[in-house]
Structure 1
């Protein structure tokens, strides 16, 4: 799968990657479109259509009652439940098969974990989660246990994040990929079985940049990123 040329294309890719992972038996999935100032409500609305055929077997959670009420207002009548994580009617029902959490944060991490335990073997998808806030969950034993017990059980089936002159990308079933900006396009420079972070990612990018040391001035950032910025500006209106 190639890099998306727009936010709309990224959402379509995320839908396909999620469906493929579910078909292969994954029950806990994570979708992340890591763009600054991204409004997640319209993204969730565009992401959901392939799964709406489940009707009442689908449940959508937002971090709070206000966000859930806004979604119900903007999306109109839906055959599935749209609730805040702490709503009175937030319990997962016996016939529900797919649970989508929209942008849960570290503040809600314990409630999300509890609901996932109630979901048992049903499919759970996290859309743009923000549950890794070190200031909230900590970096000591408790934070490490939370990651091992819960956060690390989710398979990242779709991930796209623009970096400085590069893009970190993953669309299931493909491996993690690093794309480097070249003139007006992007070149695939590395594939990894696990998400490259920290020194691993630095080594990939530094090695690539050293190969192109003759290019003293980086090319202007155009192509995919400028197109995505246009979509992000449109969503923020």
Structure 2
């Protein structure tokens, strides 16, 4: 990813290529994240899955529930691969299935997801836009959360794209994590490449260095204090939603 995608379709296409490359290199637990508010997942999933349809019945697609799976079957028409809800009786994996893609699983379904991943064994699993960050919401104790977090740590990010105020974070396998800064309205400049995802204070420091921020600014909770940055974020989101 030498520059940020200019449209949502371009971002999905990049995610398809990155996922295929990671699978070819032997990764078996992957996740793809397009971190934008109010995304409509059904058309995104349909475009993303087109990269894997040549696997036919060797592909299995899971939605969080039977209702979403039924809606996909209705809207997408006949497919050579199975589309099921995670809790369906027919959700049992078949021996000849080689790739499992989960569409937007949440912390509510993390128990079912873990069971299905165990059933998958060493066969590859891809999570498309998982919503698993707040494990505490599923009502389990500390030890249970630790086990769940250990399970989720098995997944490698092969594609990630998230705009934030005046900046963006991205990763497209096999590239490293990249941080972008808005220099002009809607134009982003690559300012850093990191082996791990920069978050919190580490991200703030990278942005401060790029903008020439001083010690007093470093004490602020965010490095993005310039006027107009939020409007740049909104423009980026609008462009990706076109």
- Asked if Structure 1 and Structure 2 have the same fold, meaning a TM-score greater than 0.5 normalized by the shorter chain, the answer is yes
Q: Distance in 1 between matches of 2:141 and 2:228?
A: 38
Partner of 1:120 in structure 2?
A: 121
- Deviation, 1:89, is 0.2
Q: Could you report, residue by residue, the CA deviation over 1:166-203 in whole angstroms, capped at 9, with x for unpaired residues?
A: 00100000000110000131111111111111221122
Deviation at 1:220, TM superposition (A): 5.8
Aligned-partner Cα distance in 1 for 2:139–2:147 = 10
Report deviation, 1:138. Answer: 5.9
- CA separation in 1, counterparts of 2:156 and 2:15? 13
- Asked whether the equivalents of residues 34 and 160 of structure 1 are also in contact (C-alpha less than 8 Å), the reply is yes
Deviation at 1:230, TM superposition (A): 4.7
Question: CA 1:224–1:11 in 2, change beyond 3 Å: closer, same or farther?
Answer: farther
Aligned position for 1:186: 188
Residue of 123, 133, 137 corresponding to 1:135: 137
Instruction: Summarize the alignment of residues 209-228 of structure 1 with structure 2, pairs less than 5 Å apart.
Output: 209-211=211-213, 217-219=226-228, 226=235, 228=237
Determine if the alignment matches structure 1 residue 57 to structure 2 residue 23: no
In the alignment, the residues of structure 2 paired with residue 3 and residue 137 of structure 1 have an alpha-carbon distance, to the nearest angstrom, of: 38
191, 198, 201: which is aligned to 1:199? 201
Q: Distance in 1 between matches of 2:159 and 2:153?
A: 15
Shift in CA distance, 229/101, structure 1 to aligned 2, threshold 3 Å: same
Using the alignment, how far apart are the partners of 1:11 and 1:211 within structure 2?
34
C-alpha displacement of 1:132: 1.9
- Aligned equivalents of 1:85 and 1:207: distance in 2? 45
Q: Is the 8 A contact 1:14 1:158 kept in 2?
A: yes
> Structure 1 residue 221: deviation in Å?
6.0
Q: TM-score, normalised by structure 1?
A: 0.90
Cα gap change, 1:188 to 1:137, in 2 (>3 Å): farther
Helix, strand or coil at the partner of 1:167: strand
Gaps of 5+ in 1: none
CA drift at 1:88: 1.1
SS of corresponding position for 2:52: helix
Residue by residue over 1:121-179, the C-alpha shift from the partner in whole angstroms, topping out at 9 and shown as x without a partner, is 1110000001121322668332122112x100001000000100000100000000110
Q: Please tell me whether the aligned partners of residues 182 and 219 of structure 1 are also in contact (alpha carbons under 8 angstroms).
A: no
**Could you list the per-position Cα deviations for residues 5-59 of structure 1 after superposition, in whole angstroms to 9, with x for gaps in the alignment?**
1100000000000011011110110000001100111100010111000000000
Farther-moved stretch of structure 1 (173-182 vs 136-145): 136-145
User: What RMSD in Å do the two structures reach over aligned CA positions?
Assistant: 2.2
1:57-91 deviations in whole A, cap 9, x for unaligned? 00000000000000001100001000000011000
